[in-house]
Amino acid sequence: MTKVSDASVCIDVNEVVDLTSRLVQVASENPPGNEGAAAEAFAATARSWGLEARLDRVGKDRANVLVTSERRAGEEASVGPLLYCGHLDTVPAGDSGWDHDPFGGSVSDGRVFGRGTVDMKGGLAAMLGGLAALQTADPELASQVTLGAVVGEEVDCAGSTAFVAAHDLSACRWLVIAEPTNLDLVVAQKGALHLKVTFTGRSAHGAHPENGVNAVQHLAQLVVDLQVLQFNVADDPWLGRPTLSANVITGGAATNVVPGICSVVLDLRTVPSQDHLITLALIEEACARLTRDVDGLTHQVEVLNNRPSTATEPDDALITAAQRTVRRVLGTDRTVRGVSFYSDASVLQPAMEGIPTLLFGPGETAAMHQVNESVAITDLAAATRFFATLPSELIR
């Protein structure tokens, strides 16, 4: 039997590039969330590469994919000690600014172009290529690895939520997610608390504003006040300080009507030491300070999205194994850092009692959600070698 140290020589980079291109050609924009065809293509490729793949329906035209080695064929839907995970959906491509067809998956100048190449169909292709290579080199070790391709990360993490409900995770000890990190080792990510704040006042004729309660003006003061809100948490060594941004405001019906209702959507990015319930109470109090003494003015705070931050100590076995793996496949060290966005780790890690979690994948973080998104073939190759090699450094 081929030794596990030879797993990387079993990789066919051209197949990984081809899979990345084909997945890009299957649009899976979210919204609306129509990842079914991408899931079918991913599962079919996994089977053609000698792996087992099952689809778990998550709704109309949506499905997660569970990939395991042949050795585990026929077993129940349990997840092994090492879980690789990535998402099948992408943000919408938009209709302008692209130099390449966003769903063409074209290959030129050593790169694959199109929506999802970076975030994160390239990462999924690299994970699958790595697991297939490991299956060829060492089936026993490959049986310790599970790959989950999930839907919905770009909106509500519906896929990872369904994944938790559908599978036995009790044996899982480590989680790796192929978000684009430029091949850096990301050990921490910010959480997200998305809130919709609505102020309701009283409409009036624009010629007589004294007869109304102007919801827009009062909400505007809230937006100003929130810019200096103190969260009373220390700077995080990987993530810095929490942030708050007022990103969508809706209010007013006509120039000559005092607006009776106005709302703002807030995007808060949080750090591990931050309690979301305490943060929510701070926002509630800021609203109450403005509404409690104004007759006819009320407020409501609605939670739209609530995802915790995650962090893993850099001396954890997963991270040190990843560092050794990077040295083996790249011949150099890579930066250990945090990121300000959140991923499916916000659902999966808490569901598995805070297991060690790493974000690692091909592509520049700055290219996420941008026009002319593309990934370097050299990055795809390096990431595939990483995913094929990590189990030998971690499990043995």
Q: Tens of pLDDT along 352-394?
A: 999 999 999 999 999 999 999 999 999 999 999 999 999 999 9
Q: How far apart are CA 335 and CA 363, in angstroms?
A: 15
Q: Are residue 181 and residue 209 in the same domain, yes or no?
A: no
What is the pTM for the complete model shown?
Answer: 0.93
Domain end (from 307, 324, 353): 307
Q: Are residue 19 and residue 106 in the same domain, yes or no?
A: yes
Domain end (from 273, 307, 341): 307
CATH number for position 346: 3.40.630.10
Residues of the chain with pLDDT under 70: 1-6, 71-77
With tokens 């190449």, the residue in question is 117
Q: Are residue 142 and residue 271 in the same domain, yes or no?
A: no
Q: What is the pLDDT of residue 76?
A: 61
What's the domain range around 197?
191-307
Instruction: Give exposure, 172-211, as e/b (b: 16+ Cβ within 10 Å).
Output: bbbbbbbbbbbbbbbbbbbbbbbbebbbbbbbbeeeeeee
Q: Are residue 336 and residue 356 in the same domain, yes or no?
A: yes
Q: Are residue 112 and residue 162 in the same domain, yes or no?
A: yes
Q: How far apart are CA 67 and CA 76, in angstroms?
A: 12
Q: Are residue 341 and residue 290 in the same domain, yes or no?
A: no
Q: What is the pLDDT of residue 9?
A: 84
Q: How far apart are CA 385 and CA 134, in angstroms?
A: 10
Q: Percent of the chain having pLDDT more than 90?
A: 94
Total domain count, the chain: 2
Q: Are residue 210 and residue 122 in the same domain, yes or no?
A: no
pLDDT per residue over 307-335, tens digit each?
Answer: 999 999 999 999 999 999 999 999 999 99
Mean pLDDT (the chain, rounded): 95
Domain end (from 260, 291, 307): 307
pLDDT per residue over 41-81, tens digit each?
Answer: 999 999 999 999 999 999 999 999 999 997 666 666 679 99
Q: Are residue 220 and residue 76 in the same domain, yes or no?
A: no
Q: What is the pLDDT of residue 125?
A: 98
Q: How far apart are CA 318 and CA 187, in angstroms?
A: 10
